[in-house]
Structures are given as C-alpha cells and as structure tokens.
Structure 1
Amino acid sequence: MNRLLKSPFMIALLAGVAIIVLAFLPAAWQALRGGAAAPSPAVDAPWNLQPRAGGVAVFGLELPGATLADAERRWGEELQLAVLAETGQPGALEGYVERFDSGGIGGKLLLATELDAATLQRLQRDTAAREPAGGTLWRYALRAVDRRALGATPLAGLTFIPAVNLDPATLRERFGEPEEVIAPGGRLEHWLYPARGLAIAVDSQGREVLQVVAPAEFERRLRAPLKAAASPAASSPG
C-alpha cells in the first residue's frame, strides 16, 4: 500500500476507527508565529473545491502542482515539517498546520509528500532534533537548510480535520450526494467524490475528515485502499 496511506500517526489520531486509511500524521505541534498572510475565508472553505485542468484547487493550493515552497509561502513557520518514522524505517515527510481556519471552520490541516527512502534516511541522520512520537514512532524535525532545499517537493495530498462535527445534512448541502459510499450505515462511512479528488470520512461518533488528492490519483491513493480495508460486501453506490 502506498506509504502516504499507511501512516500510523493518522491511525492513532482516529483511534477506534478500524477501517480509516488516511494519508497524514498528526502531532501536538504549536504554531511558532501567527503572521502569515492568508487567503480569504471563501477561498479556504473546503467546499470551495474548484476543478482545474487535470487537477483541483482547495485551501489556497492546487493539486497536482503545489509544492512545499508554496505551502511555506502560505503559512510560513506555522507550517511544521518533520520526518515521522518507525524505528529503522524511512518514514515520510509530512507537514502540519495546527490552527487552520477553513472558511470560518477551525481545524487542523495535514499535508503529505512523497520522497525516496534514501532522502528520508538522510533527513533523519541530519535532523535538528529527534523526539519520541509514541511507541516506536519518532519525529525528526527538519533543519532550516533542509526546509529550503526541499521547497520543490510536490504535495501529494491534503487532509482537513475540522474542530467541530459536520453532520451528514451539512455535508450533502455543501458537497452534494457522493458518487459512492463505502461501508454505508456503519459508524464510519466514506463518501467518495472522485471527479473532485475528495473523500470524506463521516463518523457518527466523532469528527469528520476531508481528504483531497489530484483526481487522477484518486483511485490509487484513496478509493482502492479504502475499498481494500472494508469488507467487499460493505460497499454500495451512493
């Protein structure tokens, strides 16, 4: 399975949600400063997901095409970057904006990238600091020089975790009916909007999670892993 979707950190964030397959690793990082310029709330709203030629724009970024440098310009030092890895593993380089206002809805924004194993291992060796992140998971903070050097690294996906629950009626009003629902009627449903590269985890007992990838990558990064994680009998058209 794609490393992006095997991240144990996001699984820990949504403890108890057995079939969730998310792309990012949450952390208890605090923003270092709050002065980064921000687009208007209307631009940041998750339902303001705009199709582009071969891609989609959301949260002030465009997939495919957006890079870590774009995210740095957007959030400055509010964007935390680190390699998160199990002991002895390459892990993944991921970004995290802890306090993100998405169209008037506060929450957390997670950004995923893909780097080769050799680069990830080098970043671990050259880390500015290493901190335990639970169990055998470690967080390797990037040096300033590495942040600059990795600016051209493309973003593979974005995840927004709202601070408040978004009920199904609100989601339908904002996004319309999903094209497909995985595990309908269960505690956790996955609403799929492949043309927009969007998957929404609708949790009847917890917070919703919105994931966005380039539409061309939707099957590989989101739908296929979610389908594989659920029982074959648990999927039906929406």
Structure 2
Amino acid sequence: MNRVLKSPFLVALLAGVVVLVIAFVPAFWQVLRGSSTAPVSAPEAPWSIAARGDSVSAFGLQLPGSTLADAERRWGEGLQLAVMAETGQPGALEGYVERFDSGGVGGRLLLATALDDAELLRLQQTAAERQPAGGTLWRYPLRASERQALGAAPLVGLSFIPAANLDAQTLRQRFGEPDEIIAPGGRLEHWLYPARGLAIAVDAEGRELLQVVAPADFERRLRAPLKAAASPAASAPR
C-alpha cells in the first residue's frame, strides 16, 4: 500500500496538540529555514489556486498531474529532495523550496510525493549520508542519479507558509468564506475549501499554512485527519 495512505506527512498544531496531516511530510521544521530561489509570476500567488473538476492548479503545479520532474524543471537545484524518516521507519520523500516568492508573497513551499515503503527504504540505503534532524528523525538527501530516476513520481500535496502573517480579514477577501471551520474560536483554526482542495491553518499567534491536494483527495488527505484530531464539538459547518 502506498505510504501516503498509511502515515502522516506534515506536523501542524491544532489547539496546542500535534496534528498529523496525511498529505504532507513529517519534517515540517524544514520549511522554517531560509535560502533562495528565483521569484515566480503573479499568477502563482497563493490566491490563484484554481480547481477544474477533479484537478487543481497551485504554485505553478497541477494536482493530480505534476511530477517531481516538473518541479525539477521549475526550480532545479533550488528544489531540495530528501527522505525524512524516524529511526527504522520508511518515512516519506519530501521536496521543498526553502524560499518561494509566490506573486510577491514570500514563503516556504513543500511538495509531497507518493512512494511505497520499499522504495523509501531503498532510498535510505543508497543515500550518500544520513543527517540528524532532531530527536529520532533523520534526513537522507537524494543522490543526483536518484533525483533523475524518480522524476515520474507523482506529487500529491503542496504546502505553503507565507513569510508574513495573513490575517483572517485578508484571507476572507482572497479566498471567500470557508465551507467549514475546524476548531473555530481557538488559537488555530482550520478553514476548509473542499472544492479547491484547500485547507488553511489560521494561527492567531503565528504564520498561516496553506495545504493543497486534488479535490478528489480532500476528504481522505486533509479533512478526515484534521477532524479526527479535533474534538467532536470542535468543528462548525458554515
């Protein structure tokens, strides 16, 4: 079974509790580091996320449809690829652009891929080195040959953290009213836009997080994990 369907990929905070969001990678700390890549055009701004049927375009990529090769062509060496895994676990392959200028809105972009356990373990074994990433988490950077060989790996999720805070009023102006809010009134709310495959974590004390998946995957990869992590009374339909 595909690893994406079995284990969490992005650590997010929900009312002070660690929430594991299936669509994204476990090494969430990586997006808080800074580097540089070339700026992108305004059509790739966060609010340009657009869905057509079962697909969504965001940040210059398409879900489903885009692959690691597409991301490689877009960012080249600015795209960092590594398997992030706890000791003895398959982990997940993450791609990230440490500094992404999305239509004038700077931030960090993560890309989630779909690889099975056997392939993830193989990549750990063939990695040039193993780097500590905090606690029992390890980072296994991909060799250049592996980057090329994995070009056909599909992207299944995108995550963007703006460098500057986007307040609730700005988010409503740009995205409209969410269809549902998980944990309304708390420090961290999750605004859900299923038709666009979009979930926004609105943090009253920190930066926001935009998560995008194919609309057909929204329930499985985003809404269900977030709902499961919240108390039964912590969500409100709009």
Relative to the length of structure 1, the TM-score reads: 0.91
Q: Which residue of 1 aligns with 2:142?
A: 142
Q: What secondary structure, in the 3-state scheme, does the structure 1 residue paired with 2:233 have?
A: helix
List, as ranges, runs of 4+ consecutive aligned residues in structure 1 with deviation greater than 6 Å: none
Distance 1:70 1:104 in 2: 22
1:176–1:15 distance in 2 versus 1, CA, 3 Å: closer
Q: Which residue of 1 aligns with 2:104?
A: 104
Q: Which residue of 2 aligns with 1:6?
A: 8
1:77–1:15 distance in 2 versus 1, CA, 3 Å: farther
Unaligned stretches of 5+ residues in structure 1? none
Letter in 1 for 2:200: I
Bigger shift: 192-201 or 16-25? 16-25
Aligned pairs, how many?
231
Asked whether the 8 Å contact 1:188–1:203 carries over to 2, the reply is yes
Distance 1:4 1:108 in 2: 25
Give 1:83-102 correspondences, 5 Å limit: 83-102=83-102
Q: What secondary structure, in the 3-state scheme, does the structure 2 residue paired with 1:129 have?
A: coil
Q: Which residue of 2 aligns with 1:218?
A: 218
Relative to the length of structure 2, the TM-score reads: 0.91
Give 1:145-224 correspondences, 5 Å limit: 145-224=145-224
Asked whether the 8 Å contact 2:40–2:102 carries over to 1, the reply is no
Distance 2:202 2:45 in 1: 18
1:159-196 per-residue CA deviation (whole Å, 9 max, x = no partner) reads 00111110000000000000000110011110000000
Asked whether the 8 Å contact 2:110–2:159 carries over to 1, the reply is yes
> How far 1:102 moved relative to its partner?
1.2
Distance 1:161 1:29 in 2: 11
Asked whether the 8 Å contact 2:40–2:103 carries over to 1, the reply is no
> How far 1:17 moved relative to its partner?
3.9
Identical pairs, percent: 67
Distance 1:97 1:76 in 2: 10
Letter in 1 for 2:154: P
1:205–1:136 distance in 2 versus 1, CA, 3 Å: same
> How far 1:62 moved relative to its partner?
0.4
Q: What secondary structure, in the 3-state scheme, does the structure 2 residue paired with 1:43 have?
A: helix
Give 1:2-81 correspondences, 5 Å limit: 2=4, 6-7=8-9, 10-11=10-11, 17-22=16-21, 23-24=24-25, 25-26=27-28, 27=30, 31=35, 34=37, 39-40=40-41, 42-81=42-81
Q: What secondary structure, in the 3-state scheme, does the structure 2 residue paired with 1:232 have?
A: coil
Distance 2:95 2:6 in 1: 12
Asked whether the 8 Å contact 1:5–1:221 carries over to 2, the reply is no
Asked whether the 8 Å contact 2:191–2:201 carries over to 1, the reply is yes
Unaligned stretches of 5+ residues in structure 2? none
Distance 2:234 2:107 in 1: 30
> How far 1:54 moved relative to its partner?
2.0
1:31-84 per-residue CA deviation (whole Å, 9 max, x = no partner) reads 5x74x5x641x2220110122242010100000001000000110010000000
Letter in 2 for 1:222: L
1:158–1:71 distance in 2 versus 1, CA, 3 Å: same
1:17–1:208 distance in 2 versus 1, CA, 3 Å: farther
Asked whether the 8 Å contact 1:50–1:58 carries over to 2, the reply is yes
